[in-house]
Amino acid sequence: MRISVIIAYHGETKYIMDCFASLAEQTYRDFEVIVVCDGCEEPDVSPFPELTVRFVKQEASGSVAIMRNLGIEKAEGEYLYFLDADDYIDTNMFEQMTQAAVPDGVVYATIRHTWYSRKVHYDNGEELNRQNGTAKKDRFRGDCQNPYEFLIMRANGLQNVTILGMLIARSIVDENNLRFDEDFLYFSDAPFLLQVLAAAKTAVFCEESVYIKRKHNDPVNLPALVQVKDEEKKIFEGMRMYSQYKHVVPKDENEVYFDYKFARFLVTRISWFILKAKPGKRKEVCACLKEALGKMGDGVNERLGRYPRQLVKYGKRGRVDKIAKKARSNARKEKVRTVIHSRSRMKRYIYRKVLCKMKMIPDLIVFESFFGKNYSDSPKYIYEYLNQTYPGTYKSVWIHTGKKFDLPYKAKQVRRFSFRYFYYMARSKYFVFNGRQPRYFVKRKGSVFLETWHGTPLKKLVFDMDDVTSATPLYKEEVYKQTRAWDYLVAPNRFSADIFGHAFMYDGNMLETGYPRNDILYRDDKEKLIGEIKDELGIPQDKKVILYAPTWRDDEYYGHAKYKFSLMLELDRMRDELEDEYVVILRTHYFIADALDLSEYGGFAYNMSKYDDIARLYLISDILITDYSSVFFDFANLRRPMLFFTYDLEKYRGVLRGFYMDVEEELPGPMLFDTEQVIDAIHHIGDIQKEYAHKYNKFYDKYCAWEDGHASEKVVNAVFRGE
Ligand code: C2G
Which tens digits make up the pLDDT trace of 72-98?
A: 999 999 999 999 999 999 999 999 999
Ligand 1 center to residue 454 CA distance, Å? 6
Burial class (CB in 10 A: 0-12, 13-18, 19+), 413: middle
Nearest-5° Cα angle at 457, 519 to 127: 135
Ligand 1 atom at minimal distance to the Cα of residue 552: 19
Distance 351 CA to ligand 1 centre (A): 31
- Strands 412-415, 428-433: parallel, antiparallel or unpaired by DSSP? unpaired
What are the pLDDT digits (tens) for 490-525? Answer: 999 999 999 999 999 999 999 999 999 999 999 999
| Amino acid at residue number 672 | L
Ligand 1 centroid distance, CA of 588 (Å) = 10
* C-alpha 525 to ligand 1 mean position (Å): 26
pLDDT score at 129: 47
- Closest ligand 1 atom to Cα of 587: 8
Query: If you average pLDDT over residues 350-367, what whole number do you get?
Result: 98
> Measuring from atom 10 of ligand 1, which residue has the nearest CA?
631
Residue 254 CB partners (closer than 8 Å, separation 6+) = 146, 148, 149
Task: Name which residue sits closest to atom 6 of ligand 1, judged by CA.
Answer: 589
Atom of ligand 1 nearest to the CA of 634: 15
H/E run at residue 308: helix 306-316
Out of 132-141, 586-595, 625-634, least confident range: 132-141
- Residue 196 CB coordination number (10 Å): 23
Which is the closest atom of ligand 1 to the Cα of 549? 8
The H or E element that residue 83 is part of is strand 79-84
Q: How confident is the model at residue 135 (pLDDT cuts 50, 70, 90)?
A: very low
Question: Within a 13 Å sphere around the CA of 90, how many CA atoms are in the beta-carbon half?
Answer: 18
Model pLDDT, residue 139: 63
Nearest atom (ligand 1) to Cα of 370: 14
List Cα–Cα distances, 55 to 16, 32, 168, 205, 654, in angstroms: 14, 11, 21, 31, 32
Q: Which of 371, 375, 454, 470 to mutate to test the pocket of ligand 1 (most atoms within 8 A of CB)?
A: 454
* Model confidence, pTM: 0.90
Statement: residue 64 has pLDDT above 80:
yes
Which residue is closest in CA terms to ligand 1's atom 1?
Answer: 589
CB 619 within 8 A of CB 530: yes
Distance from the first to the final alpha carbon of the chain: 74
Nearest of 558, 553, 378 to residue 459 by alpha carbon: 553
Judged against a pLDDT cut of 90, whether residue 377 lies above it is answered with yes
- Give 216's contacts (C-beta < 8 A, 6+ positions apart): 86, 222, 223, 224, 227
Name the residue among 17, 24, 156 with its Cα closest to residue 94. Answer: 24
- Distance CA(582)–CA(231), nearest Å, equals 65
| pLDDT above 80 for 469 | no
| Cα 457 to middle of ligand 1, angstroms | 9
Ligand 1 pocket at CB < 6 A: 377, 454-455, 457, 459, 461, 549-551, 587-589, 614, 629-631
d(CA 129, CA 465): 18
Listed residue (434, 440, 427, 431) closest to 371, CA to CA: 434
Give residue-wise pLDDT tens across range 379-416: 999 999 999 999 999 999 999 999 999 999 999 999 99
Tell how far the Cα of 629 is from the centroid of ligand 1, in angstroms: 6
**Percentage of the chain exceeding pLDDT 90:** 84
What pLDDT score does 655 carry? 64
So what's the pLDDT on residue 468? 82
Q: Can you tell me the distance from the alpha carbon of 168 to that of 3, in angstroms, rounded to the nearest whole number?
A: 9
Contact 191, 64 (CB under 8 A): no
Task: Determine the distance separating the centroid of ligand 1 and the alpha carbon of 549, expressed in angstroms.
Answer: 9
Nearest CA to ligand 1 atom 2: 589
| Ligand 1 midpoint to CA 18 (Å) | 33
Distance separating alpha carbons of residues 188 and 238, to the nearest angstrom: 10
- Point out the least confidently predicted range of 40-49, 65-74, 115-124, 232-241: 115-124
- Answer whether 430's CB lies under 8 Å from 367's CB: no
Q: Are 590 and 370 in contact (CB under 8 A)?
A: yes
Best probe residue, ligand 1, of 589, 612, 621, 660 (max atoms within 8 Å of C-beta):
589
Burial of 381 (0-12, 13-18, 19+ CB in 10 A): buried
Residue 631 Cα to ligand 1 midpoint, Å, equals 6
* DSSP, res 43: P
Task: Select the more confidently predicted residue: 682 or 143.
Answer: 682
- How far is ligand 1, taken at its centre, from the CA of residue 670, in Å? 20
Q: Which of 518, 547, 630 to mutate to test the pocket of ligand 1 (most atoms within 8 A of CB)?
A: 630
Distance 551 CA to ligand 1 centre (A): 6
Question: What is the position in ligand 1's atom list of the atom closest to the CA of 633?
Answer: 15
What's the pLDDT tens digit per position in 558-609?
777 788 888 999 999 999 999 999 999 999 999 988 888 999 999 999 999 9
Q: How far is the CA of 498 from the centre of ligand 1 (A)?
A: 19
Angle (CA) 46-51-56 rounded to 5° is: 80
By alpha-carbon position, which residue is closest to atom 19 of ligand 1?
A: 629
> Which atom of ligand 1 is closest in space to residue 629's alpha carbon?
19
**Ligand 1 atom closest to the CA of 455, numbered from 1:** 27
pLDDT tens for each residue of 668-700: 999 999 999 999 999 999 999 999 999 999 999
Gap between the Cα atoms of 620 and 544, Å rounded: 8
Q: Please list the alpha-helical segments (H only) found in 393-474.
A: 419-427
Q: Is 514 left (phi over 0), alpha (psi -120 to 50) or beta?
A: left
- Looking at the DSSP bridge assignments, the partners of residue 563 are 557, 592
CA of 592 from ligand 1 middle (Å) equals 11
Number of Cβ within a 10 Å radius of residue 9: 24
Amino acid (one-letter) located at 645: F
Radius of gyration of the chain (CA): 31
557-559 and 562-563: which strand pairing? antiparallel
- For residue 689, with 0-12 CB atoms within 10 Å meaning exposed, 13-18 middle and 19 or more buried, which class applies? middle
Candidate from 129-138, 289-298, 517-526 with smallest mean pLDDT: 129-138
Strand intervals (E) in 627-682: 642-645, 671-672
pLDDT at 59 over 90: no
- What atom of ligand 1 comes closest to residue 630's alpha carbon? 20
Span from the CA of 590 to the centroid of ligand 1 (angstroms): 8
Residue 402 exposed, middle or buried by CB count within 10 Å (0-12, 13-18, 19+): exposed
| Arithmetic mean of pLDDT over the chain | 94
The string of DSSP codes covering 537-561 is HT--TTSEEEEE-----TT-EEETT
C-beta atoms surrounding 532 within 10 Å:
14
Identify which of 199, 190, 280 has the alpha carbon closest to the alpha carbon of residue 240.
Answer: 190
Q: Give distance in angstroms: CA of 407 to centre of ligand 1.
A: 23
Atom nearest to 456 CA in ligand 1: 26
Ligand 1 atom nearest to 588, measured from its CA? 8
Kindly give the number of the ligand 1 atom that is closest to the alpha carbon of 517. 11
Give the Cα separation of 110 and 146 in Å (integer). Answer: 14
Give whole-number Cα distances, 212 to 78, 81, 105, 513, 701, in Å.
24, 14, 23, 47, 47
